[in-house]
Each structure stands twice: as C-alpha cells, then as structure tokens.
Structure 1
C-alpha cells in the first residue's frame, strides 16, 4: 500500500507578546482568531515564568496540554491533584464542566512551558474533569537511524501514547539528528501542525525554522498519511507534532472558557462565580526538599 504524502497549507511564525503580570516572557504560536483554520486546536502559548506564574484560575470546555520545555512546573487543582513536572514531562488536563487550577514555577525559580488548548465537541464539553501526568521517562519511544519519536497520545505504528483523550488527538515529540529524515505517520482525516522547538527543518519540502509552525490540512480520502521531516543544518531538530480530526462546530471563547455560543460562555461565568466549579483551593505550595 502506498501511503499518501501530505503537503503544507501554510507556515506561520510565533508572535512575541513579551512580559506581563504573570510571565517573564511570552510568545503566541497559535491563537483562536480563526478557529476554522486550526480546528480542533485553539491556542498554543510559549511561556517563561518565575513569579507569580498562573495562580488559581478556572477552565471549562477544553483540554489543556502542557509540555515542560525546561525548568520545573508546580501544579495543583480543585480535584486535589498536585505535584511537580520537569523537563520533557507533559500534563494533560480535561477541564470538562469545570476545574480550577494553578501552574507555577517550583520555588519561584523558572519554568519554560508550551501549553496547547484542544477543543471539545458540544456533547463532551461538560464531561467530568480529569488530570494526567505523562512523565517523559514513562512514555513509549521509537528510535531508529538518527531519529526519535516520543509518543504522547494516539498511535504510531505498534505503539500507543499513554494519554486518555476526550477527542482523538495524536501527539509526539520528534527529534532528528543532522541530515536524517523521518516520514511521520498521521491519520488522514486529521488536521496536523508541526512546531519547531529547535533547529532547522524541512517539512514536506519547505524550510521551517525554530519558532515557526507548519500546518497540514486533512487528507480525508486516506486512512493513513505521511509527512516528511528532515533535519537541516548541523544541530538536531526537535519538533512538536500534533494532529486531530476537525470538530466542525461553532466556537465561542471567553477568557478561560471555550463553548459553542456566547450564552454558554455567560453561563460558565455564572456557574464559576456561584461556586459550581468548587471552592478555590487553599492548597499550600510544595515543600522544598
């Protein structure tokens, strides 16, 4: 069977937003201005923070996926989950009908993170909340001929990622040594993005630099498709590769809430202020060791 090769729809560069009251620096890689172009993905933010970070705040209607690029991330939520994640670890949080959480730099030192918002279909937006730690040392890995695929979710060949997802998402971290090539397999029905964290890559025959994101639209007539990634230059290339089938529903975004209508956004704010998400936790900071 011949596996169809994917083409790119567009290449975009991240936007520098700079420091604010929460972070030392921030880039927006993907925003929700035109969700029909990124569906089922909504936001990809790259943040560097020490203090204060992201104190207690609510979410509804999405899954947030946070990759710790560097440093140590301290987290906690209203369901009682808490802990610290380090370089390469991922947290996958299903907000569902409502959760309150915080993300801080452990000891107020430093954390460098990528956070992705994955939309949920209308019939899953009010599901029960769930939290998963997907530790780097416990995820399945495929290594061959100067390439490495770290599988977070979905399936690559015989391996399945550990993440349990409300909407089928394939996610992996690709690492290629200089001069090596990888044909990364993706479901044909999925929209895919590949964000270059470091190095210089050729993706589907196009040059993509660190800080750029390459998009590939669905190939709906193919069960499985392939996208070519090659390391250019004299340093390794690291790429965050994610794909998911478009949901195709209206999107309404209001602060930390993502629903289908503005009325549902207003209801989310009412529910939060009424205490339906639970009390804001009084959880102490993690103790130094």
Structure 2
C-alpha cells in the first residue's frame, strides 16, 4: 500500500524552551505536519539530516550551538528544508545574520500562532523543486514524534542528485547555444550573459559551473530573469517570495524589505557580482532591482 501524502510532511522543531516547543508543535500539527522536537542545536541538525523534513523552525539562542550555526550546518549538508528562524532579537544585523545563515524566513518572539501558520503556508506556496508530492495544510496530522524518538544521524550527508553529472555534461553545448536574445529556445533555460537558470529543474550555472543557491536566492534570481530589464521593487519581491505576487492587499513592512536586501546581498556574493559595478543585477536606487544591460 502506498504511503499517504500527509505522512511525508515532517517538521523539525529546534527550540530549548519547552513551552514554546509545545506551541510550535500544536501549530504545525494543526497544519498537517508530523513533528520532531529537540531542545538544542546539535540534536536539531542531526534530526534534520536524519528525517529530511519539509520544514524546520530554529531558535536563535540555544545551548551548544546557536540557531545561526545550526542553520549554516543544515545548509552545508545541502538540505533544502524550509527554515524559519525564531528570535527575540529584533536588531537588523541579527535578522540579516539569520537570513545569511540560510534561513528562508524569520519570526520575532513573542509571536502569534496564526502569524506562524500564515508564514508556513506562504513558504509552502513556493515551488519545491525536489518533489512532486502536493502540499496540503488542511489535513489532519500524523502522530507526532518526540526528541527521544529519532536515531543517531547517518554518517553520510546528502549529496547532489545523481543526474547532476549528466546535466553538467550537457551544459557546455547548452551554454554555447543559448544567448540572452533567444533564451526561450533553450528548452526551459533562461539566460543573461553567461548565467543560465532552469526553473523546472532548479539549476543555475555561470559559465558552465553549477551554482549552489538557497531556495529563496533561486526564486529571487528566477524572478529577475523573467522580468529582464523591468524593475522589481523590494515590496514586489517580498510578495513573490510569499507566493502572493498577484495580491496587493498584504502589508509589506520595513523588516520584510530588509530581508529581501539580505537575500540579495547573499545572492550577489554567490554570483560574484559587485554592486558598484554589477555584471548581472543592478540596484535602482529608491525603487528595487533589475537585470543589467546585455551590453558589456
């Protein structure tokens, strides 16, 4: 008998406060998740690598390693779980640090359960490139797991998909054939200069070399490539990341715009792009971002 879809929806809760763990468990189970709760960063990283969850919530201040380091280790293992950082620190530098460590979103404590649920639903509306299983947030949750129920982490971490070699072997030919003015003819590839992006396969290359982006960085880059020279504002990009790009009634605050700035800084760093003399993405001051001109 096939495995029910809902049994595949797992969330890891990394939080040292037992009361907050309880609240997170209730909210996530009401959204249809099976949960694994742990009380420190080291066990949290191990649980994520063991269960490969769809979602992980990560507290910033924890014993052992803090949430920033936990997120970095999760991303270093090439896990693509959605990460929501929970923090009582509302300084801009702390928000930027969390996003820079690999978090997809952040939530300040104390938080309202309905706001957390809304953030989770917004993340789940975004494209998940490694699965074809539909995501539902309304079904009844499977039985929860506790922090004592997960085994020791496997000695190996996740690796790139087996098809990577075959894809990389085909890239030189694709790269030679693709130009910015005829990218639509490249079987799903979008191009800007020597940058190639395949939205369906979630692949990015620069001059034939694979680029490792977080889901948020990929979505930002794909949006800019689709928009070409049309400027996308920070508020517009915030709604795109929430999956609400066609909705105009949602509030976008200064913190949301700073989050986009932080993600864009990380994306540019990985692209090797200098904001003062950009090759791929330029800032339109007071407005937002767009692709650079095709001309060198």
TM-score, normalising length: structure 2: 0.23
Bigger Rg, which one? 2
Q: Could you say which structure has the higher helix fraction?
A: 2
TM-score, normalising length: structure 1: 0.24
Of structures 1 and 2, the one scoring higher in RCO (CA 8 A, sep 6+) is 1
Q: Could you say which structure has the higher strand fraction?
A: 1
